[in-house]
Amino acid sequence: MSSVKATKKSAFSCEPCRRRKVKCGGEQPICNRCATRSDDCIYKLNPTLSYTQRLEERIKELEDQLAAIKSPPSVPASNHSSPGVWNGHDSNRHPDEHAMTRSFMGLKIDDKGGITYHGPTSLFNLPSDPHKHKPDSISSIDSDAHRRERLVNNAWHQRAMENLSDIPEPFQYLLNVHWCWIQPLFNFIYRPAFTRDMQSMGPYYSHTLLNAMLSHSIRWGKSDPSTKQLLDQSYDGGAVFAKHARSMLFDELRECGHGNTTQAWIYSGIAFRLIDHLGICVDGQRYPGSVHLTDEEVEIRHRLYWSCYFWDKIISLYLGRSPSLQHTQVSPPQIIMDDSAENELWVPFDSPHGSDWKYPPATAHSTSCFMSACRLSVIFNEILIHMYDPLLENTEAEMQECLQTQDPAMRLWWEQLPPHLKIELSAMPELAPPSHIVTMNALYHTFRILLFRPMLTWQVYPEDEGPHPMQNHLVECVTSATSIIAIFDLFCRTFTISHCVLSLSYSVYIAATIFLLQVQATPEDQQAVRKLSFCVRALHQAKTVNPVISSALDLITREMANLGLDPGLSTPQQQPPPPMPQPMPDVPMPTDIPITETIYPASFDIPAQPSPYEPEQLFQTPWADNMNPNAMAVDRGVFEALSSFEPLSVRVGAIYESGNNPQNFG
């Protein structure tokens, strides 16, 4: 009996076999007869019910797989913002993303060839079908992996090309300073694109941007003798870079540090308006509109949005203003594909006074640090809005609700922070980690203080029984304040105070406000007095590199004088003369902007400052002495006294405004 090979049959025939009235094998996609005769095999009749059911089952299976890819990871139900959940200022107004984005038009190319976006009420759009503007499907995991691979490979290639490039001094030295001390935390520049286009004059490089980067690196670069000599001989000590710089983000950083807060606020406003105008506030992957963005363009726009979002919260904090940028449903996600900077080696560049750093190379962890700082800034945005709104007086109920939601969010952020990014007060290292990690830890404790500090001055009634919540609030504030000065001390002993950024100085000021409240409530608390004195000495030296901190120092020393305490700054030779008012530099800015404050010169020549932070001069006990809550228990009379005091302003920007009105605590 001969065996016949069974062929898969179908209950319906193809069109050519039907016309010939021959038996069709029903093979897919071409039956054997049509394949032999080279005919076009077309099935026109309706399929059988069983075949339809198989197709429906396959479709459902594929849909389930696609839904699993698109759905975000599960998050425990909570009514507060957490580091992994993006809840904006008014996120409850947009529960339905599709309903909110019906009228969103996406990005477009304007008549001049630039990328921009405009809403449906603008002069540049006609009413259209809202279904045309639905967000694009989220890319699959596989395509994201390929995108990351392309970006990382390009980054390493550009780094190799950068090492082969011949950039003359002092430009190379100052750029290295920028990549070391500024770039990792703020991430304004996408390095692979900048260094590539620097060689070819591409779109991501300009001379004005380079001048802005160089001018911001001068304060560090002047410590190198050969670089200082080049700057003094050919570049007016570095001042020439500032005259030709025109980058709003770097300009505001520089002006804010120098104390010129009007210019800093103007520059930041222009920068954030440009973010809107260029559509950087829009996720270009999900809402591309008529614009096709490359992998690199998407990466640059995501990085720039989040760096601006983070800096918006910082400068709003410094100047006591409302934050400008809010995260919405159409904003770029917190995703960085190119994480090549994460595992780079970090060594402190720009050695002090020409000597070598005694610092072993460390892993930079730049990407994880930046993204963690961005998640922290989302939480702090809620604190700024619901506790420190300068235009609307926040109610006690609103502030209490903010405390109840953001305290767990900050605790969760700290728990989820990778161990390599944490500085634990109970296990301080011998050397400070990379500077951006130090700054992020100091900011975390600063935000903790600002979360609890408003509650310290609420009215406490003696007849209230039982433990009062203020005791926990005060312990939280004192713990974070002590952590800040320990972190600051570690930084200065490792890198010297000349490398201190304004964020660290501001953190010390906020810590000082807590110790000042302690001393005001209990003048006999010698430990609080010693910590307050440390903060005053630290700020006194930090104002040399960050002149804007002078106003904060003046507030504290005035209050100490009222208490009969000596700030310990009496040696005349240590106190630099006050800066003399100077005319505005010749830069192309509008002439009708009202400048009502003293303009401070750029601190290009920073005198060498010996570090005063020897451990024996500060505390005879370890930093982490009895930092558990029981050891820090506060007598009820202390927080009853606290309710009669007003904490100093969170602002450091109004250098002479506070001097005109000593009681003006914001």
| Cα–Cα dist 83/416, whole Å | 9
Could you confirm whether domain 7-69 is CATH 4.10.240.10?
yes
Query: Among 7-21, 395-409, 622-636, which range has the highest average pLDDT?
Result: 395-409
Query: Among 52-66, 96-110, 132-146, which range has the highest average pLDDT?
Result: 52-66
Q: Tell me what pLDDT residue 460 has.
A: 55
| Cα–Cα dist 144/137, whole Å | 13
pLDDT over 70 (residue 539): yes
Segment 132-137 shows an average pLDDT of: 50
Segment 262-282 shows an average pLDDT of: 82
| Cα–Cα dist 490/479, whole Å | 17
Worst-scoring range by mean pLDDT, 238-242, 457-461, 542-546? 457-461
Output the CA angle 535-538-542, nearest 5 degrees: 135
Q: Tell me what pLDDT residue 8 has.
A: 46
Comparing 261 with 336, the larger pLDDT belongs to 336
116: β partners: 108
Comparing 352 with 224, the larger pLDDT belongs to 224
Q: Tell me what pLDDT residue 633 has.
A: 41
Comparing 116 with 657, the larger pLDDT belongs to 116
Contact between 491 and 623 under an 8 Å Cβ cutoff? The reply is no
Query: Among 483-492, 554-563, 585-594, which range has the highest average pLDDT?
Result: 483-492
Distances (CA, A) of 190 to 119, 158, 185, 340, 458: 29, 11, 13, 12, 46
Segment 206-214 shows an average pLDDT of: 87
pLDDT over 70 (residue 98): no
Q: Tell me what pLDDT residue 118 has.
A: 62
The dihedral over CA atoms of 497, 498, 504, 505, expressed in degrees to the nearest 10, equals 90
Average pLDDT, the chain: 74
Query: Among 352-366, 447-461, 485-499, which range has the highest average pLDDT?
Result: 485-499
Q: Tell me what pLDDT residue 104 has.
A: 55
Q: Tell me what pLDDT residue 600 has.
A: 35
Contact between 132 and 168 under an 8 Å Cβ cutoff? The reply is no
Segment 117-132 shows an average pLDDT of: 59
Segment 552-580 shows an average pLDDT of: 71
Q: What is the pTM of this model?
A: 0.71
Percent of the chain with pLDDT over 90: 32
Q: Tell me what pLDDT residue 611 has.
A: 42
Q: Tell me what pLDDT residue 617 has.
A: 41
Percent of the chain with pLDDT over 70: 65
Worst-scoring range by mean pLDDT, 418-422, 424-428, 432-436? 424-428
Q: Tell me what pLDDT residue 627 has.
A: 41
pLDDT over 90 (residue 385): yes
pLDDT over 70 (residue 657): no
| Cα–Cα dist 476/446, whole Å | 11
Instruction: Convert the pLDDT of each residue in 487-502 to its tens digit.
Output: 999 999 999 898 899 9
Q: Tell me what pLDDT residue 371 has.
A: 96
Contact between 27 and 8 under an 8 Å Cβ cutoff? The reply is yes
| Cα–Cα dist 168/189, whole Å | 21
| Cα–Cα dist 489/507, whole Å | 12
Listed in order, the ranges of the chain carrying CATH 4.10.240.10 are: 7-69
pLDDT over 70 (residue 9): no
pLDDT over 80 (residue 136): no
Segment 111-128 shows an average pLDDT of: 64
Worst-scoring range by mean pLDDT, 261-275, 509-523, 550-564? 261-275
Worst-scoring range by mean pLDDT, 78-82, 253-257, 435-439, 609-613? 78-82
Single-letter amino acid, residue 320 = G
- pLDDT interval class at 289 (50, 70, 90): low
